[in-house]
Chains A and B, each alone.
Chain A
Amino acid sequence: MTDATILKTPKGWPAILLPRTAPADATDLDAAMTAGAFSGLRLVMRDLGATGTTAAIGASGLRGRGGAGYPAADKWRSASATEASSRVVVANGYGADPSSVTDRILMERNPFAVIEGLAITAFAIGAAEAIIAVRADATTTIRVLEAAVAAAQDAGLVGNDAFGPGRHLDMTVRTVQGAYLLGEETILLKALEGKRGQPEQRPPHPATRGLRGLPTVVHNVQTLAAIPWIVVNGSEAFAKIGAAECPGTILVQVRGPEASGVAEVPMGTKLRDVAGLAGTPSGARSLKAVLVGGPSGGILPPDALDIPYTFDALKSAGAHIGSGSVIVADDRACIVDLARVLTRYCADEACGKTIPCRIGTRRLSEIGDRLAFGTSRAGDLDLLTDLASDIVGSALCDHERLTTLPLVSGMRYFRAELDEHLERSSCPAGVCHPIAMTAGATH
């Protein structure tokens, strides 16, 4: 399911995050430096300076790959503008979605890009502490990162006096585990402080008040890994890649009928081509839907596949980039069943802090269950619409908002199939129980 193989992509696609050929030993610093690692950091320290670096990242148009697509340089500016005794940079390598291993692959194959990106960010915002947060069960990733950080430390690239006399960069790998929500930045910071993992009201954003009250920039590891490339190759070169409003590439976990794995995709590639990297259903099977964004993703129909894979286009289509997961569903799948499974997982993982979180997501999941189990009540779909908009309007963190996506997108694009469940208690795909199978179901 969570395949770690690298999918073949067209020759012309840029390789910024994942090198085309995997290095023999990803933790070999000498080999990595021969290939150009840490030349970005040198440029930043010698020529660009903190403001110059921030300006360069701003000009490149780099947006965070963690899901929300927030411009990276804006976070840096608010962190540097906040008076503080010290600042912190956190690499979010948690990878909350269990069906996606994109971040883990990146850290295992290209750990020095993440470390260099962290160091550059730290230099730019004046941070003395950098933390790479990883899942405790990703033992290989942890081993690789720890070896890579140790190598960088021995070479004096991070650690004491890394940025010149008296300017230290203390870099550690920290493991966290035990909840889906740890991927969310304020919750991750709570876990790093040894507290219960529940989100905080924003503002103040972590960039102004984060770990132990210090301004903290949290970036996804992919965002960080793109930074050295931008510094070395220039903002213009980066801005030319991918979509105009969100340049660069992103790692996508594609699961389809023929293959399953990770691919580096230029932003703005048509969703059809992204999904197509894992083959399209053929023969007796036809393409029914594509699930975009992980457990809280949107379920998009075949005619929505011409939209570009960008933050904004996916958002207006009712999905999101989320964990970078793209899953192809053929005609065996029932949209109601799929939406129900996803909503239930998200509702069970909700933290319970606020009412939309504790009760709203649960009620949402019950509506999904009722549809699938043939016990719907009249008005359930109106209730779903109302509830979803209330949750979106009053949620504390994005998790609740996103939890509405599977059912809402299912209702938006597959209304006929939902109506079959609701009005005739029948499941056209013959999946839902105890609803009777109807004619046309083929298994």
Chain B
Amino acid sequence: MSLVPGLGLVRGMALTLRRFFEPKATIRYPEVQADIPPKFRGRLQLLYDEYGTLKCETCFQCAQACPIECIDMGGMDTKGRFHVHWGAAETYGERREESALRRSGRTVPDPAYDHFEGVDVGPVDDILETFDHDPAHLLPILEATQAHYGYLPVGALKRISQVTGTWYAQIYGTASFYGHLRFEPPTVTAQATAISERRPDEAAFLASLGASLTGRPGGDA
């Protein structure tokens, strides 16, 4: 209790007033976009729905996205089956459908799943054969796979995971680190363009260094 009656109230209002005139942290998304580090993945938190049930569906997507394998999981899926690590190809698709249905009552065509379209994995088996099915040769294996398909199809990565026993999360995490490996066909997509703009290559760096040294008269001198 303050000795002067109402002082607390005045203090509170003063704080409000001060905050009112401080610069705003809010930006006008999407016109203005925050500069997010390319490796940023957001805060990890498991959420509960309004009935207190864990929202996690054991879909393994977070383990798949984590580039340094700090997330991996084992657990019961929505059919009560126990899974450790990345499940088999069919399981994944099955659970995806199921979740979509459960959420909205119908299947939702989602371009995000285009990547999961099947590919002929025969060539992957041949590549793995050449490298002795040895995960120590993961980089050359991925490079050969990309040389064959033009990119790294999810189906091919899953095949590598199944055959070599390497966690999918590790394969994906490795592949996503190296600039020359890509997950999209070489045809230009909005995503590929966005990625290359966020992560300038060596040539872009050299050009902007040259431009900076010459006072930027329209680029390198």
Q: Which residues of A contact B (CB under 8 A)?
A: 1-2, 98-99, 136, 176-180, 191, 193-198, 212, 295, 327, 329-330, 332-334, 337-338, 341-342, 344-345, 347-348, 350-353, 358-359, 362, 366, 369, 377, 429-431, 443
Contacts and interface: CB of A to CB of B under 8 A. Distances in A.
A145 to B, nearest CB: 17
Contact of A1 (B38, B136, B174, B220): B220
Interface in B102-151: 135-141
B185 to A, nearest CB: 18
B13 interface: no
A353 B69 CA distance: 11
22 contacts: A98-B202, A99-B209, A177-B178, A177-B179, A178-B179, A180-B202, A194-B135, A196-B174, A197-B178, A330-B213, A332-B214, A332-B215, A333-B215, A334-B215, A341-B209, A342-B209, A344-B200, A348-B198, A352-B67, A358-B37, A359-B40, A431-B212
Given A98-B202, A179-B177, A195 B138 contact: yes
B178 A431 contact: no
Nearest to B41: A352
Contacts of A198: 68, 177
A194 B206 contact: no
A352 B37 contact: yes
Contacts of B205: 98, 295, 341, 345
Closest 8 CB pairs of A and B: A352-B39, A178-B178, A194-B138, A332-B215, A98-B202, A362-B37, A178-B179, A178-B180
A337 B206 contact: no
Contacts of B38: 348, 352
A233 B137 CA distance: 41
B113 to A, nearest CB: 25
B199 to A, nearest CB: 5
B213 A327 contact: yes
Contacts of A359: 37, 40
Contacts of A327: 213
Contacts of B180: 136, 177-178
Contacts of B91: none
Contacts of A429: 215
Interface in B12-37: 23, 35, 37
Interface in B170-221: 170, 173-174, 177-181, 198-200, 202-203, 205-206, 208-210, 212-217, 220
Nearest to B178: A178
Residue from A193, A338, A352 whose CB has the most chain B CB atoms within 10 Å: A352
Given A1-B206, A177-B178, A362-B35, A194 B212 contact: no
Contact of A358 (B40, B135, B139, B212): B40
Contacts of B174: 194-196
B72 to A, nearest CB: 14
B180 to A, nearest CB: 4
Contacts of B135: 194
Contacts of B208: 341
A194 B139 contact: yes
Nearest to B139: A194
B210 to A, nearest CB: 6
B212 A333 contact: yes
A237 B212 CA distance: 43
Interface string B52-82: 0000000000000001100000000000000
Given A98-B203, A194-B135, A197-B177, 19 more contacts: A1-B206, A2-B206, A98-B206, A177-B178, A178-B177, A179-B178, A195-B170, A196-B68, A196-B177, A212-B136, A327-B213, A334-B215, A337-B212, A338-B209, A347-B37, A352-B38, A358-B40, A362-B37, A369-B35
